[in-house]
Amino acid sequence: MAEMTPLEAAPNDLSGARILVVDDNGMSRRKLRLSVENLGHVAEMVADGHEALDALRDGSFDAVLLDILMPGLDGFGVLAEMKADDALRDVPVIVISALDDETESVVKAIELGAEDFLPKTYDPVLLKARLGASLGKKRFRDQEREYFRRIERLTEAAEILETGRFDPESLQLEDVASKRDPIGRLATVFRGMAAEIYERELRMTRAIMTLQGSFLVLAVGLVWGLTPALSRMASGLGSNPLGLAIWVNGIAAVFCLGIAAYRGKLPRLSWREIAFFFYWAVIAGILQRMTTFVATEHVEAAMLSLIVTLQGFMVFAFAALTKMEQATPRRLLGLFVGLVGVSLVLFTRFDMADRAQNLWLLFAMALPFLFAVEAIVLAGKRPEHVDIFASVGLMMGISTLLLIPWAYATGDLMPLQFRVGRLEILVVLMGIVGAASLLLAFHLIATAGAVFYSQSAYAMTIAGVVWGMLLLNEELSILAWVAFAIVIVGMYLVEPKAREDELLIHRSFDK
């Protein structure tokens, strides 16, 4: 939008208008400028028709005083060009002429769209009257045009609402609402109501998202927490951890890729994407597993579970540093509340007698670190076009292939019988559980963000305790349920990450 002329800014005051004086004759130009300035206006002078058009297009003028006879583009030419230009059509032109011999010229100029004419030797009162009349008409036209423009903006805003976009910013009514006239007040009310509805929907959507996310976190925790219990059952049936992992991951890979293939979503991958899945498999399949093996031998199980829950804080720190997600005190407080809940369960199980483990505690910190790296990498770098089943299946498959040489070297390769026994059923079950937990985790990271997801470590730890009680007849403590409740309070505080896309509201008042 062109800048406003003083006339547009203060329409009730006709003085201070910007007037363009066009005359090739230096003395006439100066005389007109002095007259115009004497009436309290601002005059700008140009010496020919082309300069006049350039000046008119550069800055906005309220009126033009135009000489007819000029070298180059004459007054008629200027008038014709102005009338052909939408932006200049409504700028009033007063033609300056020597009446005695130029009646024909005046007639022609008025036919071309000039507002009025003025003799070369004019009475200043006449100049004031004609200029005033022209400016008055222009002011009225400007106001009328501004009025319709604002009505149009309001109508557009209503149409935007129709598409379900209630976000006050997308309505773009600030301009219309800034004036305190009836249309401005209407726009203010209109925008206020839309904002109120938007805020309400936003709060509701966030509440639903937190609820869904919390449910998913608990589901991930419960499914993941099942793994240690199943592992212990499997080891009771004579399996070794590495051999078991190969079978479990392999079955999970076949399961996931099978579903992806069935849904016709096996992806084509670039080398960069293959590299991504390779790194993921190295972190989740090799590094995390090796660290777990070593740590479980030296660190007491309850303490290790507690250390693993530190991943929430690590993810939070990562996310804050990389600005991937909001890092608010409220979310940090939520993570602490969750930690309190988990500690409640674990401290009752500590065996503090073993002091030799102190250095190993430090080593065990690598485990939550690796989990945190995995969550952040998945949140920030996952190839979004690859189907969730294909993604998890690929990672599981690659990690299986990486584990086979390791197991071969340590003699841990574990042949299964084709005859279906308890161990075989258990292994298939573990494969499906492994796949399901990763799928849930992947979905959670994608929808709620890495920080919210990292709370699943709490749920997982507590669920591990609960499953142990249920499946292995370990002692059940009321404290475990209290801890669960506290972890859920933590989730409420952490909240899923904010949505990036605008919230659309489905209207119930459709035609």
Which residues bind to another protein, rule: CB under 8 A? 24-28, 30-31, 34-35, 37-38, 69-71, 98, 100-101, 120-124, 127
Q: Is the CB of 40 or the CB of 192 nearer to another protein? A: 40
Smallest gap from Cβ 37 to another protein, in A, equals 8
Q: Give the C-alpha distances (Å, rounded to integers) separating 476 from 5, 218, 241, 308.
A: 81, 19, 26, 22
Smallest gap from Cβ 69 to another protein, in A, equals 5
Smallest gap from Cβ 34 to another protein, in A, equals 4
Smallest gap from Cβ 79 to another protein, in A, equals 18
Smallest gap from Cβ 101 to another protein, in A, equals 6
Place of tokens 């979310």: 331
Smallest gap from Cβ 47 to another protein, in A, equals 11
SS3 for 377-410, per residue?
HHHHHCCCCCCHHHHHHHHHHHHHHHHHHHHHHH
Smallest gap from Cβ 121 to another protein, in A, equals 6
Q: Is the CB of 123 or the CB of 181 nearer to another protein? A: 123
Smallest gap from Cβ 96 to another protein, in A, equals 9
Pair of tokens at residue 8 = 């547009």
Q: What is the DSSP letter of 234?
A: H
149-167 b/e (C-beta count within 10 Å ≥ 16 → b): ebeebbeebeebbeeebbb
CA angle 168, 173, 179 (to 5 degrees): 135
Phi, psi values for residue 376, rounded to 5°: -65, -45
Q: Is the CB of 105 or the CB of 311 nearer to another protein? A: 105
Q: Which of 456, 449, 453 minimizes the C-alpha distance to 498?
A: 449
Residue pair 454/311 in contact (Cβ under 8 Å)? The answer is yes
Residues with Cβ < 8 Å from 249, sequence gap 6 or more? 285, 396, 397, 399, 400, 403, 431, 434
Q: Is the CB of 104 or the CB of 475 nearer to another protein? A: 104
Q: Is the CB of 120 or the CB of 265 nearer to another protein? A: 120
Q: Give the C-alpha distances (Å, rounded to integers) separating 371 from 2, 192, 310, 403.
A: 56, 45, 10, 19
Q: Is the CB of 121 or the CB of 358 nearer to another protein? A: 121
CA gap 352, 294 in Å, rounded: 20
DSSP string, 13-79: --SS-EEEEE-SSHHHHHHHHHHHHHTT-EEEEESSHHHHHHHHHHS--SEEEEES--SSS-HHHHH
Q: Is the CB of 28 or the CB of 477 nearer to another protein? A: 28
Q: Which of 120, 107, 118 minimizes the C-alpha distance to 63?
A: 118
Smallest gap from Cβ 117 to another protein, in A, equals 15
Smallest gap from Cβ 3 to another protein, in A, equals 28
Residue pair 239/422 in contact (Cβ under 8 Å)? The answer is no
Smallest gap from Cβ 102 to another protein, in A, equals 10
Smallest gap from Cβ 24 to another protein, in A, equals 7
Q: Is the CB of 52 or the CB of 480 nearer to another protein? A: 52
Q: Is the CB of 34 or the CB of 470 nearer to another protein? A: 34
Q: Is the CB of 39 or the CB of 233 nearer to another protein? A: 39
Q: Is the CB of 108 or the CB of 349 nearer to another protein? A: 108
CA gap 92, 88 in Å, rounded: 9
CA gap 186, 192 in Å, rounded: 10
Residue pair 393/256 in contact (Cβ under 8 Å)? The answer is yes
Q: Which ranges of 62-123 does DSSP label H, i.e. alpha helix?
A: 75-84, 103-111
Q: Is the CB of 70 or the CB of 248 nearer to another protein? A: 70
CA gap 70, 76 in Å, rounded: 10
